Amino acid sequence: MTLTHHNFTTAARREAEALSETFAEWESPRYFLRFDGGFDLTGLFDEEPQQRELLPHPALPDWPNADNEPPLLLYGHCGGVPVLAHAGGWRTADGHGVLPALFPAAVAHAAGARNAIFFDCALSLNPDLKAGRWAMLTDFINGYAFSPLDGLHRDLERPFPNLSEALSQFQNSEIINALGAMGETPMLCTYLGRPGFHLATPAEAAVAHAQGADLVGHDLVLQLIFASAMAFRTSGMVLAGAQFLPGADVSRLTRQDFQEAAKFRSRQLMRTLRQAIAELERPSPEETAALKNSPSPDANADEPPDADEAIYQSIRRAATRTSPLSAFLKRQ
């Protein structure tokens, strides 16, 4: 069956059902993680993840992509949290259209995931964003001549999403805090997605920078728009694979340079993700207090509260992510 706008959602649901039958001890994933080519996922999962090749177009069994990587879905637990990851997949420039590039996220949504984090390795136009440094996207620019939502409106959770709210500040903050614990603070950046597997010319780079872009890449912007329309809680992280500054000699830059940068920083990224997901899944102080204060049929109404627990909850409430105390402790 050829993937089209008419059967896109049906095909995603069928693939999600196949995942539940293929993977042992299946639970609906809490997170969908999509990695561009080059990232090494070793260390992300608690145990060796289960794998399934994702081929929505049986007429093209080899389904080639630019990096010659098999399009894999990986399922397992990260700190006990069920996670579905996609690596080695397709991009619009592979020549199969935009739908195969969006298909893994659609499958993850059909499987129950509602949190998505996308990872890319792109070209830096910012002199402060040096090769090998992480950027957290706070905005993006669609440089394609189309929207990835075209033709899919009837199948979207939010047919006309407000893209100013596409990226989750809450999720971003936990990823930034996790990176901070590893000794690195990512830059907050704007990403420009452009068609084609090629590096920008000096004039293109200058125009992109004048538009406000700190990074130039490809399909990530399409993924972020689609994820927003599917009501994912969404984040985008980008590794600067190389810099393109005025007067710089980039004649020797290759795709392999970006892949090597991604592989080199993968170990830190997997540790960061494990910590960030653990914090994202931790009940907030308000939720913990509400649960503790909820009536229990076996509770003794005359029993005094535990003093140590009361002090602990008080400290937790005072050190929430948005409180001045939290920012002060982080600086210290």
pLDDT digits (tens, 9 = 90+) for 230-247: 999 999 999 999 998 877
pLDDT in tens, 112-154: 999 999 999 999 999 999 999 999 999 999 999 999 999 999 9
More confident residue, 64 or 73: 73
Which is it for strands 115-124 and 215-217: parallel, antiparallel or unpaired?
A: antiparallel
pLDDT digits 0-9 by tens, 260-285: 999 999 999 999 999 999 999 987 55
- In whole angstroms, what separates CA 318 from the centre of its chain? 30
Q: Is the pLDDT of residue 82 over 60?
A: yes
Supply 321's token pair: 């992510």
- Name the token pair of 88: 């080695």
% of the chain beyond a pLDDT of 70: 81
The domain spans of the chain are 8-281, 285-331
Q: What is the rounded distance in angstroms from the CA atom of residue 29 to the CA atom of residue 49? A: 13
pLDDT at 302: 46
Dihedral angle of Cα 154, 156, 159, 165, to the nearest 10 degrees:
180
The pLDDT-based confidence of 36 (bands split at 50, 70, 90) is: confident
> Do residues 20 and 111 make contact, with C-beta atoms less than 8 angstroms apart?
yes
CA atoms within 13 A on the CB side of 221: 22
pLDDT bucket at 93, cuts 50 / 70 / 90: confident
- pLDDT given at position 84: 97
The fraction of the chain above a pLDDT of 90, given in percent, is: 62
Query: Would you say 106 and 56 are in contact if contact means Cβ atoms under 8 Å apart?
Result: no
Geometric angle at alpha carbon 323, from 322 and 324, rounded to 5° = 125
Question: 8-281 domain in CATH 3.65.10.10?
Answer: no
Looking at residue 203, its amino acid is A
